[in-house]
Amino acid sequence: MSKQSDIDQIRVDILTQNICPELAEQATNLVIGDGNVNAEIVFVGEAPGKSEDEQGLPFVGAAGKFLNEMLETSNMQRQDVYITNIVKYRPPNNRDPFPEEKEVFWPFLLRQLEIIQPKIVATLGRHSMEYFLPNAKISEIHGQPKRINLGSQTVVIVPLFHPAAALYNGSMRETLMNDFAKIPNILKRANEYDAVLKIMTE
Ligand code: URA
């Protein structure tokens, strides 16, 4: 099976298992994720907003435009990375997702990461960060890479502020842009670490 068909199966499973029926009922689309299933970097946001719900794609509204800008200025292409959310349906009126909604979708996010096997997971906002780095405070650790074990893989988490929160907040915006610009170097170091680890275990 290809990686893409494995990801497609996640969509089928969420629908057939009737995950989060209260959100599903109000949503137009299930928003699984978008981008390169062979990506070295996966971005994980919170939940789809209005535009995302309408189009069935993550980060296509105002926050998505800002994300695209930051990708471009950091010499990354949107088609080279993979973008998803912890919660796959839009919460009504863009309210924060409830803990039980995040919890029920978490195993599906883990499956996505098992399939893609990224080097870096960049969390956008605290809702996705708290699952990878429990008890961490985003204001204290934003932009600082943390290597963690995740199922069968080790992955570097880069906690970032959420682009929607930073969009209209001058200082947070600058902080997010600075943190974002560190990603290519963090990736380079992650690749070097993996290369050394490979030599040591061969
Ligand atoms: N905000 C998110 O967290 N995710 C999206 O897909 C869009 C906005």
38-67 confidence digits (pLDDT tens): 999 999 999 999 999 999 999 999 999 999
84 touches 45 (CB < 8 A): yes
Amino acid at residue number 69: E
What's the CA-to-centroid distance between 108 and ligand 1, angstroms? 17
Nearest CA to ligand 1 atom 7: 59
Collect all residues with Cβ–Cβ distance below 8 Å to 77 and sequence separation of at least 6.
Answer: 71
Instruction: Report pLDDT digits (tens) over 124-146.
Output: 999 999 999 999 999 999 999 99
The predicted structure's pLDDT at residue 1:
74
| Cβ–ligand 1 contact at 34 (below 6 Å) | no
What's the CA-to-centroid distance between 160 and ligand 1, angstroms? 13
* Nearest atom in ligand 1 to 127's CA: 3
For the segment 91-101, the average pLDDT, to the nearest whole number, is: 96
Query: To the nearest whole percent, how much of the chain has pLDDT over 90?
Result: 91
Instruction: Report pLDDT digits (tens) over 1-18.
Output: 799 999 999 999 999 999
The predicted structure's pLDDT at residue 111:
97
Alpha carbons 1 and 184: distance in angstroms, whole number? 30
* Nearest atom in ligand 1 to 52's CA: 6
Indicate whether 202 pLDDT > 90: no
**DSSP 8-state secondary structure symbol assigned to residue 56:** T
Query: ∠ CA 39-49-146 to the nearest 5 degrees?
Result: 40
CA 57 from centre of chain: 13
**CB count in 10 Å sphere of residue 6:** 15
pTM for the full model? 0.96
| Cβ–ligand 1 contact at 163 (below 6 Å) | no
What's the CA-to-centroid distance between 51 and ligand 1, angstroms? 9
The predicted structure's pLDDT at residue 196:
86
What's the CA-to-centroid distance between 195 and ligand 1, angstroms? 34
| Cβ–ligand 1 contact at 85 (below 6 Å) | yes
Indicate whether 152 pLDDT > 90: no
